[in-house]
């Protein structure tokens, strides 16, 4: 595993985020446990790490909500590196002020666009109150998969944004055609662009699901979630599942044209890769809707480890951020999870359990005590 380029965070500085007034910590390699009572700010540290790498919070879409009650500006900075040798170190900074907006920089140089600043493969995050990757809306599952593909498939993000741009143009055309009665004949030009980009998007998603499926099943079983875990791409339109990769473009062109009257009435594009979903289940039971809280947790964790395996195989080890992951696992599953976490990647997990059975933890573990506004070893 040493030939990969695992991500590392070396230090983190948080100013006026949630309950933290100011926090500056150095984060060692190996397994890091943030330990402390509820409400001490463990999750906020994990959240800050996500913000410092992806630029968005896993808990809210409004960065403004993160600003500490009596402050007006929040700031997160961190030193990250992409390989063990520290030769690719970068100092990342994100600030947010209500009314002013977001400020991003890398090594002190301002970066305008989030797309240039964010590092989609650098962290994988698990938050028990969220589980959006399993039980959230289709968009949440899609986004998880697309983030993985952005990191692994060169050109994927260009195709995805190309598809989105062409779809936005087609929607604008359909809406205006609906209100003014103009002929939407030029829609086919946008449909052709949507088909070209959309086919690459769908093909990449299919490939990723094929790679993830056995890994997901493996981890689901290892974590006690039972055997027979299945991932499946639910394509939109649904009959697309039967179409070979080579025929995707032609199939999209035909379907978009055929559904144009319906889309015209709706004023938007009703089918396409922007409506794809991922089926997550055990056998033929749909865990997204029918799974218990515990099953969904285990599935989310198994999916995260499957993503980790795939990124690892591609030579890019993400930092694993696992919030409150041990609490609901029985000792056997806890052991299985901890065994899964002994790799080359940095793992940061939080626990409210005052006496985590530290005997279980590997030797190279650092424990931070988080309480009363401080965080120390």
Partner 1 sequence: MLTPSLERLIAELSRLPGVGPRSAQRLAFHLLKAPNERTLALAGALTQMSERLRPCSRCFSFAEDELCPICQDQRRDRTLLCVVEEPSSILPIERTHEYRGYYHVLGGALSPIDGIDPGDLRIDELVRRVDAEGVTELIVATNPTMTGEATALYLSDLLRGKVQLTRLASGLPVGADLEYADELTLGRALLGRRVLE
Q: Which is nearer to partner 1, 60 or 186 (CB)?
A: 186
The verdict on 181 binding partner 1 (CB under 8 A) reads: no
The verdict on 260 binding partner 1 (CB under 8 A) reads: no
SS3 213: helix
Angle at 286 between CA 255 and CA 120, to 5 degrees: 70
CA distance 213 to 99: 44
232 phi, psi to nearest 5 deg: -145, 140
The verdict on 176 binding partner 1 (CB under 8 A) reads: yes
CA distance 155 to 135: 29
The verdict on 339 binding partner 1 (CB under 8 A) reads: no
CA distance 152 to 173: 34
Residue 249's Cα: distance from chain center in Å? 28
Q: Which is nearer to partner 1, 89 or 164 (CB)?
A: 164
Q: Which stretch binds partner 1 (CB under 8 A): 42-50, 66-74, 188-196, 232-240?
A: 188-196
Q: Which of 88, 100, 189, 247 binds partner 1 (CB under 8 A)?
A: 189
Contact 126, 297 (CB under 8 A): no
The verdict on 274 binding partner 1 (CB under 8 A) reads: no
Contact 49, 321 (CB under 8 A): yes
The verdict on 155 binding partner 1 (CB under 8 A) reads: yes
Q: Which stretch binds partner 1 (CB under 8 A): 54-62, 151-159, 289-297, 332-340?
A: 151-159
The verdict on 165 binding partner 1 (CB under 8 A) reads: yes
- Helical packing angle, 187-222 and 331-340, nearest 10°: 120
Dihedral-angle region of residue 283 (phi above 0 means left; psi in -120 to 50 means alpha; beta otherwise): left
Among 88, 124, 157, which Cα is nearest to 345's?
Answer: 124
Q: Which is nearer to partner 1, 166 or 341 (CB)?
A: 166
Omega prior to 150 cis, within 30 of 0? no
Q: Which of 193, 206, 213, 371 binds partner 1 (CB under 8 A)?
A: 193
The verdict on 13 binding partner 1 (CB under 8 A) reads: no
The verdict on 192 binding partner 1 (CB under 8 A) reads: yes
**How would you class 321 by CB atoms within 10 Å of its CB: exposed for 0-12, middle for 13-18, buried for 19 or more?**
buried
The verdict on 110 binding partner 1 (CB under 8 A) reads: no
Q: Which of 83, 98, 168, 203 binds partner 1 (CB under 8 A)?
A: 168
The verdict on 162 binding partner 1 (CB under 8 A) reads: yes
Q: Which is nearer to partner 1, 81 or 192 (CB)?
A: 192
Q: Which stretch binds partner 1 (CB under 8 A): 34-42, 171-179, 229-237, 362-370?
A: 171-179
Interface residue list for partner 1 (CB under 8 A): 154-155, 158, 162, 165-166, 168-170, 172-173, 176, 182, 185-186, 188-190, 192-193
């Amino acid at each position: 595993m040493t030939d990969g380029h695992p991500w590392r965070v070396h230090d983190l500085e948080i100013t006026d985020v949630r309950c933290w007034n100011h926090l500056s910590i150095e984060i060692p390699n190996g397994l890091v446990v943030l330990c402390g009572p509820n409400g001490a700010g463990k999750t906020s540290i994990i959240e800050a790490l996500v913000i410092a790498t992806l630029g968005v919070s896993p808990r809210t879409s409004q960065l403004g909500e993160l600003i500490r009650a009596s402050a007006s500006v929040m700031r997160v900075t961190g030193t990250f590196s992409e390989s063990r040798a520290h030769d690719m170190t970068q100092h990342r900074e994100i600030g947010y002020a209500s009314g002013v907006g977001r400020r991003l920089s890398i090594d002190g140089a301002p970066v305008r666009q989030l797309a240039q600043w964010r590092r989609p493969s650098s962290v994988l995050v698990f938050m028990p109150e969220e589980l959006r990757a399993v039980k959230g809306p289709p968009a949440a599952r899609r986004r998880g998969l697309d983030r993985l593909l952005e990191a692994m498939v060169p050109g994927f993000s260009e195709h995805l944004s190309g598809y989105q741009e062409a779809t936005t143009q087609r929607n604008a055309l359909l809406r205006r055609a609906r209100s003014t009665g103009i002929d939407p004949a030029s829609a086919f030009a946008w449909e052709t662009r949507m088909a070209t980009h959309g086919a690459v998007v769908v093909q990449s998603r299919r490939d990723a699901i094929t790679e993830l499926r056995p890994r997901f099943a493996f981890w689901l079983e290892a974590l006690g979630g039972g055997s027979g875990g299945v991932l499946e791409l639910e394509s939109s339109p649904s009959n697309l599942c039967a179409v070979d990769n080579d025929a995707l473009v032609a199939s999209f062109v035909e379907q978009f044209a055929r559904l144009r009257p319906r889309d015209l009435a709706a004023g938007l594009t009703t089918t396409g890769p922007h409506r794809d979903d991922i089926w997550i289940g055990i056998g033929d039971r749909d865990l997204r809707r029918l799974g218990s809280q515990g099953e969904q947790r285990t599935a989310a964790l198994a999916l995260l480890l499957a993503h980790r395996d795939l990124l690892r195989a591609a030579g890019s080890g993400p930092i694993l951020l696992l919030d409150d992951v041990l609490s609901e696992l029985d000792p056997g599953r806890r052991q299985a999870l901890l065994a899964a976490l002994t790799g080359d990647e940095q793992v940061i997990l939080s626990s409210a359990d005052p006496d985590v059975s530290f005997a279980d933890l590997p030797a190279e573990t650092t424990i931070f005590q988080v309480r009363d506004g401080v965080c120390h070893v």
